[in-house]
Amino acid sequence: MRIKLHVWRQSSRSDKGHMETYELDNVVAEMSFLEMMDTLNEKLTVEGKEPVAFDHDCREGVCGMCSMVINGEAHGPKSKTTTCQLYMRHFDDGAEIFIEPWRASAFPVVRDLVVDRSAFDRIIQAGGYISNHSGPKPDPNSIPIEPNLAETALDAATCIGCGACVAACPNGSAMLFTSAKVSHLGMLPQGQPERFDRAKSMVSQMESEGFGSCRNYAECEAQCPKGISIAFIGRLNSDFLKASLVEPIDRRGDMKAQ
Amino acid sequence: MNRIQTLYNSIIGKKVIAAVTGLILFGFLLGHVAGNLKVFTGSTEAGIPHIDEYGQFLKVAGEPLVPAGALLWGARLVLLFSILLHITVVVQLAMFSAKSRPVAYVKSKKKAASLPALWMMFSGSLIAGFIVFHILHFTTGTIQLGEFEHGYVYNNLRSSFSNPFVAGGYIFVMLVIGIHLNHGVWSMFQTLGIDNPDRNKFLRTASTAVTVAIILGFIAVPASFLFGAMPEAANYAHDLLTGH
Ligand code: HEM
Ligand code: SF4
Ligand code: FES
């Protein structure tokens, strides 16, 4: 296969950056997208040029590192697929491919396609935990959970924190990520004690990181490699509303009869 | 009060305020379109078109529980407050979001975002302009696009809408409102956390159905006058219209 690449090159955080064009003619359809990038980097290295910096780790769709906007879509054209699981057979011979980093003020570009996603870590730190005793290990399955609830919470837990939702959202909103993280804890019994505080503090952290506001486009769900549902955004809205208006409700006290 | 302030200061809270004020405005549209349809129900025995009578009724509605005009002005204030709040929060949210992507994509593709959803600010701004124009046209009579006399609602409509540009303009704006509501009504459910995968299809279909019904109702009035399907109103004396 022959392909033409337009890749974002930016040497440092402060560099303005630009698109650069490369031609590759030794691409094999069985290569993964990242292997194609490796091939490009080998070629650049041999030519004495600086290889393209890009993030990757597991290369099997679980770590969420391989952030690239490919032809205008986060993680490329195949839905529910991370960049590392995308293959060159998904592209035509002679294809022209645009590769850009996630674009969000909260995800500054470190170099080329590598962005700094620590804003997500700070959202997690703000409330993505449960409190637990540190005594003896409890029996497995000692807390009964309704199966549907457990499955829905697990769906939310499949979020790999890749940031594609932010990259895809025309408003640069992180609501899908935050709602998935708030929900997978907040739906389970173990997550109840902090449920409403969690919703408030994670949303507040999300706001101060500078992510935009959700306009209910569902673009995040469509480009999320794990297909996280915007139903979790509705759920977060509802928990956040309760947290700011009514919870915690103090119901202690005497009552009189009449 | 403190809690309301916390809510108002958050982006989710502002969005909820957009949804609640949107719901109030939507409720107004429902009432407005129902009232408008009185154009088609004919006249009283004295020859007063029902729509003129309805206009009179709105002025005194609530009597004798509240003084004449109190209910009308109360409703107007609630609506004015709602629309100003709606505009304030959506503009604040848009300004907040505008900072979230300083460098634009060279290539960007939309897989799910619908055009009505992407055009909310555009359709909303047109609606805001239209509301001001509409009040100056049919309520105060400041903008004259045909003969206008206070209280003679039917004749005023007939005179303005016989002009194809006026009727066409109104029909166009109604379509724009429909586009705003097609996304807006469903979006309200999502914002308030009422939508869920098991009722998503129903809520979306219902939102579109209600929107289409409202918009057809609104369009029916200028369209009927434009195509000459409406009889001329009998000339009736001023003194039959009390309150003018
Ligand atoms: C007839 C009057 C109007 C009605 C019935 C109406 C209704 C609605 C509804 C129901 C929503 C959905 C809120 C949500 O997603 O939670 C909405 C959103 C919106 N409206 Fe309106 N609206 C009206 C007038 C306006 C005006 C005058 C503007 C002027 C700027 C406007 C701009 C917007 C925008 C930008 C949104 C999207 C807000 C967001 O998602 O952040 N609307 N509207
Ligand atoms: S919600 Fe989806 S797109 Fe967003 S971070 Fe999680 S896995 Fe990635
Ligand atoms: S490299 Fe781990 S998800 Fe792609």
* Domain chopping of chain B, boundaries: 2-99+112-240
Residues of B in contact with A171 (CB under 8 A): 97, 100
Give the CATH number of the domain where residue A68 resides. 3.10.20.30
CA distance to partner chain A, nearest, from residue B9 (Å): 10
On whether both A97 and A132 belong to a single domain, the answer is: no
Nearest to B15 among A104, A214, A229 (CB): A214
Q: Please indicate, yes or no, whether residues A76 and A166 belong to a single structural domain of this protein.
A: no
Residue owning tokens 């989710």: B12
Residues 24-83, chain A, touching B (beta carbon < 8 A) = 69, 71-73, 79
Contacts of B172 (CB under 8 A, 6+ apart): none
Same-domain pairing of A128 and A226: yes
Find the ligand nearest to B95 CA.
1
pTM more than 0.90: yes
Q: Domain for residue A257, yes or no?
A: no
Contact with chain B for residue A105, Cβ under 8 A:
yes
The answer to the question of residue A42 being in a domain is yes
> Is A252 part of any domain?
no
> For residue A139, what is the domain's CATH number?
1.10.1060.10
**pLDDT at B239 (0 to 100):** 62
Q: Is A157 part of the contact surface with chain B (CB cutoff 8 Å)?
A: no
What is the distance between the alpha carbons of residues B122 and B116, in angstroms, rounded to a whole number? 9
pLDDT tens digits for range A22-35: 999 999 999 999 99
Instruction: Please report the pLDDT score of residue B237 as a whole number.
Output: 63
pLDDT value, residue B134 = 98
Residues in B closer than 8 angstroms to A72, CB to CB, are: 105, 107-109
CA B104 centroid distance within chain: 35
Does residue A13 have a pLDDT over 90?
Answer: yes
Which positions ≥6 away from A208 have C-beta within 8 Å?
Answer: none
Closest chain B C-alpha to A219 CA, distance in angstroms: 5
Q: What residues line ligand 3, using a CB cutoff of 6 Å?
A: A 56-59, 61-66, 82-84
Same-domain status, A99 and A186: no
Distance from CA of B132 to the nearest CA of A (A): 26
Determine if ligand 1 sits within 6 Å of the CB of residue B18.
Answer: yes
What number is the average pLDDT over the span A48-65?
A: 97
Ligand 3 mean position, distance from CA A167 (Å): 16
Query: A-B interface: how many C-beta pairs under 8 angstroms?
Result: 140
Question: How large is the average pLDDT for residues A248-258?
Answer: 91
The answer to whether the CB atoms of A217 and B194 lie below 8 A apart is: no
Number of domains within chain A: 2
Would you say residue A171 lies in a domain? Answer: yes
| ipTM > 0.85 (yes/no) | yes
Look at residues A55, A90, A111 and tell me which one is the last residue of a structural domain.
A111
pLDDT-derived band at A248, boundaries 50, 70, 90: confident
- Please indicate, yes or no, whether residues A16 and A136 belong to a single structural domain of this protein: no
Query: Each residue of A163-184: pLDDT tens digit?
Result: 999 999 999 999 999 999 999 9
The verdict on A225 and A181 lying in the same domain is yes
Query: Do A121 and A107 reside in the same domain of the chain?
Result: no
In the sheet that A18-24 helps form, which strands lie side by side, from edge to edge?
A18-24, A3-9, A96-100, A69-70, A73-74
C-alpha–C-alpha distance, residues A120 and B53, integer Å: 61
Same domain, A131 and A107: no
Among A92, A111, A130, residue at a domain's last position:
A111
How many angstroms away from the CA of B205 is the closest CA of chain A?
16
Closest partner CB to A213 (pick from B4, B11, B197): B11
Fold of B2-99+112-240: 3 helical TM bundles of succinate and fumarate reductases (1.20.1300)
pLDDT tens column, A82-128: 999 999 999 999 999 999 999 999 999 999 999 999 999 999 999 99
Under 8 Å between Cβ of B233 and B154: yes
Residue among A32, A36, A57, A113 whose CB has most ligand 3 atoms within 8 A, to mutate: A57
DSSP chain B: -HHHHHHHHSHHHHHHHHHHHHHHHHHHHHHHHHHHGGGGS-B-TTS-BHHHHHHHHHHHTTTTTS-TTHHHHHHHHHHHHHHHHHHHHHHHHHHHHHTS-SS--SS---SS--HHHHTHHHHHHHHHHHHHHHIIIIIS--S-SS---TT-HHHHHHHHHTSHHHHHHHHHHHHHHHHHHHHHHHHHHHHTT---TTTHHHHHHHHHHHHHHHHHHHHHHHHHHHTT-SPPPPP--GGGSTT-
pLDDT value of position B230: 87
Q: Give the pLDDT of residue B244.
A: 47
> Where in the sequence is the domain holding A82, given as residue range(s)?
3-111
Tell me what the mean pLDDT of segment A242-253 comes to: 90
Report the pLDDT value the prediction gives residue A139, as an integer from 0 to 100.
Answer: 86
Q: Is A257 on the interface with B (CB under 8 A)?
A: no
Structure tokens given for B190: 């999502």
Is A176 inside a domain boundary?
yes
Substitution target from B8, B90, B101 for chain A, most A beta carbons within 10 A: B101
Give the rounded percent of residues in chain A with a pLDDT score beyond 70: 100
pLDDT for position A250? 85
Alpha carbon of A107 to ligand 2 centroid (Å): 14
Q: pLDDT below 50 — which residues of chain B?
A: 244
Residue A159 inside a domain? The answer is yes
- CA separation for the pair B105, A219 (Å, rounded): 15
Residue of A nearest to B190 (CA): A234
Residues A76 and A196 in one domain: no
3-state DSSP assignment of residue A155: helix
Is B26 close to ligand 1, i.e. is its CB under 6 Å away? yes
CB pair distance less than 8 Å for B100 and A104: yes
* A256 inside domain: no
| Whether residue A159 sits in one domain with residue A51 | no
Do A135 and A64 share a domain, yes or no?
A: no
